[in-house]
Structure 1
Amino acid sequence: MFDSDVLVLPPEQTLGNTAPSGLFGLELEFATESVGSLSDAELVDAAVGFERLAAWAAARQAAVLAEFQGRSGDGSVRAVSAAVPLREWASDEIGMALTVSRGTAQVRLAQARRLSGVLRPTRDLLEGGRLCWSRARLVCDRLALLDDTLAAAVQDRVLPAAPGQTWAQLDAALRRAILALDPDGAAARHRSARAERRVDVFAGEDGMATLWARLTAPDAASSYAWLTRLARGLGSEDPRTLDQRRADLLAAVLTGRLVLRDPAAAAADTVAVVPVTPGKPLITVLVPHSTLTGADDAPCELVGYGPIPALLAREVAADAVWRRLVSDPLTGTVLEYGRTTYRPPAALADHVRARDITCRAPGCRRPAATCELDHVVPWDPDGTTGEDNLVALCPAHHDLKEHPGWQTELGPDRALEWTTPTGHRYRTGRHDHRTGVSGPGGRARPRRP
């Protein structure tokens, strides 16, 4: 077809974008009988094809399970007895048939029933191969306690972007949507969950165990940040890894073998541990001004964790030092330094990290606060140090970008396009602080050249 004198060709059909079906399963079988003859790109497409086929099968199975449970005792499936309706023994029958426990079968049947009812749009995406079963199950789990009206509203909000999101990204989107659409219920659920805070211990193998704590999200994030500062404060000459230092310090503090003192008091004391930087641990909470003032209860974002209720964000605000991060027209912050400096000044670094929120690699949710700032066009020989050439990348993806065959390009809308060695392309967008969603169109949109 023609659009503004530009010829728009339909996408090339591959094993990775064909609608799944039983016949497609046969096509996949024949196409992959000799995997050694497939190119790298074809192998990737085949892997996607099998993923889509598995999703299609899961959706069909959900329809079957829902029909089985929904039949009455006098239907085509005969009940055990007239006094025992089918619903009461369906989980036992399915548990035996699928070799799972009765409780697991009950959950599977409940999910199937919801997917055939209010969550039918989610099942349709699953059947079309656009959503894997783990993400469809996540939708079921997060909406399990919501009534049908609220569940449908949350589903309508998150589903358009869901096919391009990882499990963790979809989880954050679901939690944010629930907070936005049911702020009163979110506050009540947080109070209930907060009452269940506790510490527990679980036996492990090889003489190890897990110490587990259920805390509020800000307390957990702050505790981990402070423990990391203490671990880094031991110095680079310490032979232990950072994880080992954190574990050893936690055990030493909680068992009384180590007492923490402030830096001044520790100057003449070689036993005390001093953090690498003093003061309260830095945690970043993104709060709309209207929520901060109490005008509404819009969901807020604890960077590195995800959405939190407005009630909890205001509690954090009452005991915090705030830094206002706004766009250039309001602050006059310089966002372009050209070739005058390689290392981004603090104001520019803050702006880029606040813009990106997480690593800009598809599917990565490492907080931008712990990421490196990468020059998309290398500074040497001719890249610039500016907002239009900087993105947050975790060390692993920063290193990956430099490998042969990998390319990145930052567009005018700050969407970052990745091209892999097989020719597949993926896009990630800057974070939209109004919706809490990274755009445009999700964080990972594969397409072939």
Structure 2
Amino acid sequence: MDSTVQLMDPALPETRVEFGMARAEFAGMQAARAAAEQWSACADVLREARAYPEVYTGPGPVDAARVEFAVRAAAADLAVRLGVTEPVVRDQAARADVLIRRMPLLWAWFREGEIAASHMRVVADVITGMPDQVLSRFEAEVLERRGLPLPRFRAQVRLLAARLHPQELATRHEIAASKRAVWIESEPDGMALLITRMPETDAHRALAHVDHLARQAVTHPDEARTLAQIRADIVRDLVAGDLTAGTGVGVSVGVLIPVETLLGVAERPGTLDGVIPIDPDTARDLAGESAFWRRILTDPVSGTVLDYDRRSYRPPADLDRLIRTTHPVCDFPGCGRPSRTCDLDHTIAWQHGGTTSAANLRPLCRGHHRLKHETRWATDGTHWTSPTGHTTPGAKANDPPPF
């Protein structure tokens, strides 16, 4: 039998492997095309919001603030529909704008699925601020490297940009360093990433210091942790102020603990800020530790606290605590900002007869609080309706408190 015919036989593993490879490659191209389309659509929607803000804010005089609120309302609308965050929508739109305008050839390859979205993110971030006179050469050289794996592609594109950019690297570094920040990304099983953006030299110096301390600790005869675990514990203790007396910063983090768990008669989990699960032993430990933690016991049957109805506009401390406990995050769909950092908003406005009560108060982060009052975003306390008519449940309806 001819060898070519044999290789086409679907019963042969070689054929199945080759078919699987082709499927994966085709899916990768489809994913790139879909990403390009989504980025472009986000850019178009935000562009329309800038041109016609009345769609999102209603009729009235147009000024810069009103246009910005329209863009924010449109970004929120897209974020809810796509199941992503508003910064992701804005990033996708901004990348599409800059790539279509400044890298048209590269964008055409992207639209055809010949360059991965991960690679295009690198290019979009690198060319911000690059002068027009070097873009043609930069684009041509990037196209030659489009097939490289992402780590090598990222390194080579950054080196290429540094070589072609006429502005001094020190000046660009100073601008980039002004964007340093710290944030958290949650992971499964009660874990999280504490991420810091800082100058690379500082990052390497910090890691070298942590590694030095960890290698000293790992030599202790009673040490059972791995070197990686020790590094993580040292970073935690340094940042939390536990390695130097008096350096801790007092913060209030809600710890929700079922009373049966606290009493040791059940093993139901607790939560941090109402959203991050913690095991029963950790919950019990936190219930008796530092004043940095605010202990809140939940009813074992209903999980609720008695409602209130106040005559004052500003909620008293006990009602404030109730709302932030039963609504652990900003009520806007998909926001996720902890309620302890949010404003308390009257669903029915105070001036329109709304009461200062648990039934009429919801936490809204400052951005979404202003969005509700400055645009046509609206809520009935359970669902939110976008200026374009899309309705979605609020945070509590989507993710009620665990108890």
Aligning the two structures, in what range does the TM-score lie when normalised by the shorter sequence?
0.3 to 0.5
TM-score normalised to structure 2 length: 0.42
Query: Structure 1 or 2: larger helix share?
Result: 2
TM-score normalised to structure 1 length: 0.38
Larger RCO: 1 or 2 (CA < 8 Å, sep 6+): 2
